[in-house]
Amino acid sequence: MAGEKPNANSDYADHISLVINSGSWAFTRDGLFDLLAKSRGLSDESIPGFIGTGKGSARWYYLVYKALDYLTPDGNKLVVECHNDLSEKFDICEYGYEIGTDIAISTGFVTPNIPLIKIIDADQELRRRIEAAQVRDFKWLDTSVKN
């Protein structure tokens, strides 16, 4: 977009994927959150706007954060899943949701690049960019008509 730095997307995510005909099952993390919260309890770490699961006892940990009041476009609470990078220096995180009929978004980031406390702001900016890029009344060519 005009006036933006060339790699502006890197401010918001390390990778962003649009997925067509995904089915919501691939992006629903509520069940994972509930399972880990039940088996590991909730995290002691406080991240404003989120509740999190415990990490567990293994060196390689996996945890999930669920937004308290922030909804995705498909009406679910934003759920972010994270795991450490084995060096335990940062977390690799991912979230996703449906943004329209048969279209979903998957976003991945590393916590030093986007701290979890900023993920809602980053997601709102991502939604704004997707909204701005949509062509509402695109006229598809009918290739079935023979001349």
pLDDT tens digits along 56-70: 777 778 888 999 999
Residue 135 within any structural domain of the chain: no
pLDDT digits (tens, 9 = 90+) for 10-19: 455 666 776 7
Top pLDDT among 44 and 28 is at 44
First vs last C-alpha separation in the chain: 39
**Is residue 9 pLDDT above 70, yes or no?**
no
Residue 141 domain-assigned?
no
What is the spatial distance between Cα 95 and Cα 119, in angstroms, rounded to a whole number? Answer: 10
Q: Which structural domain, as residue segments, surrounds residue 117?
A: 14-127
Considering the chain, what is the average pLDDT of its residues? Answer: 78
Within a domain: 71: yes
Report phi then psi at 114, rounded to 5.
-135, 105
pLDDT value, residue 91: 85
The verdict on residue 25 lying in a domain is yes
pTM for the whole structure: 0.74
